[in-house]
Amino acid sequence: MYINLSGLNVLVTGASRGIGKAIAAKLAEAGATVAVHYHKSGREAENLAHVLGNESKAFQADLAQPDQVVQLFDKVVSEFGSLELLVNNAGLAIASDMGSADKQWLEEWNKTMMVNLNATAILCKRAIDHWLKRKATGRIINISSRAAFRGDTAEYLAYAASKGGVVSLTRSIARAYGKQGIKAFNIAPGFVRTDMAKEFVERYGEQVVLGDLALERLTEPKDIAPMVTFLCSGLADHATGSTIDINAGSYVH
């Protein structure tokens, strides 16, 4: 199936590495111009934008800072002129010891919520405002997690809760704005071979992770990117509000 995203601008958060990098590459391959968001990996993001071509550019922002989230969106629109697609991929998973002091635990909880849920919500709001003012169509793809549905370990309560919020956010956007031409989708991966999953794998062992799968290998970023590209194409618009599980059969709901 040939997908042509030429002439469309897309913001991919957390695009300098891992899942975001694979998504950015696949979208650019289909012709999209990609705003490669990064936090600290500036060199990697700049190099990626150059490789992607299509006048793609790198944009820096700390998603733990609400003002920087707003500025990120405004910078992308200012540079590109418009935005048609939003992929909220950036996220973090902090292992918070339940035996730690309440202050520390809450700080880690709040940071997780800010990056995983609040920043996603702010960018969604800005995108919706952008499209409504222009009377334009738009698509949002949010990267959630199987943890939103089956839960997670005690150390990752905040991660699971934040991703559950992303699911509800996406469904509500889909229901509220479909008639205005705005569609929203969730992708819910399980463990993916990325730096973010490294801490859990090192703590519990890769065999524990692999033993939970129905397939023979751990999901990789390249397994996520084609579905995101497909949803961006408009070929699945009547699936708006839905969640696509990409977790190697480790959770089926």
**Per the domain annotation, does 1 fall within a domain?**
no
Residues spanned by the domain of 222? 9-246
Which CATH number belongs to the domain containing residue 66 in this structure?
3.40.50.720
> Which residues are part of the catalytic machinery?
159
Q: Does 166 map to a domain?
A: yes
Maximum alpha-carbon separation in the chain: 53
Decide if 110 is inside a domain. yes
Parallel/antiparallel/unpaired status of strands 33-38 and 243-246? unpaired
The Cβ-side half-sphere exposure at 242, using a 13 Å CA radius, reads: 12
Separation CA 246–CA 223 (nearest Å): 8
173 within some domain: yes
76 is a domain residue? yes
**The pLDDT value given to residue 204:** 65
Which pLDDT score, from 0 to 100, does residue 200 have?
65
Could you give the C-alpha distances from 34 to 37, 82, 152, 181, 234, in angstroms and in order? 9, 12, 32, 21, 17
Determine contact, residues 5/235, Cβ cutoff 8 Å: no
Q: Which residues contact 34 (CB under 8 A, 6 or more apart)?
A: 9, 10, 11, 12, 15, 24, 27, 28, 49, 52, 54, 56
Number of domains comprising the chain: 1
> What confidence tier does 191 reach under pLDDT thresholds 50, 70, 90?
confident
Q: What is the mean pLDDT of the segment spanning 174-191?
A: 96
**Torsion sign (Cα): 216, 218, 219, 220:** negative
Residue 96 one-letter amino acid: S
Residue 250: pLDDT band with limits 50, 70, 90? confident
Higher-pLDDT residue of 218 and 37 is: 37
Tell me if 118 is assigned to some domain.
yes
Question: Is residue 3 domain-resident?
Answer: no
Give CA–CA dist 205/70, Å, rounded. Answer: 39
> Is 253 domain-assigned?
no
Mean pLDDT of 138-160: 96
CB–CB of 207/236 below 8 Å?
Answer: no
Encode pLDDT of 83-138 as tens digits: 999 999 999 999 999 999 999 999 999 999 999 999 999 999 999 999 999 999 99
Q: How many residues does the chain have?
A: 253
Task: Assess whether pLDDT exceeds 80 at residue 245.
Answer: yes
pLDDT at residue 114, rounded to an integer: 98
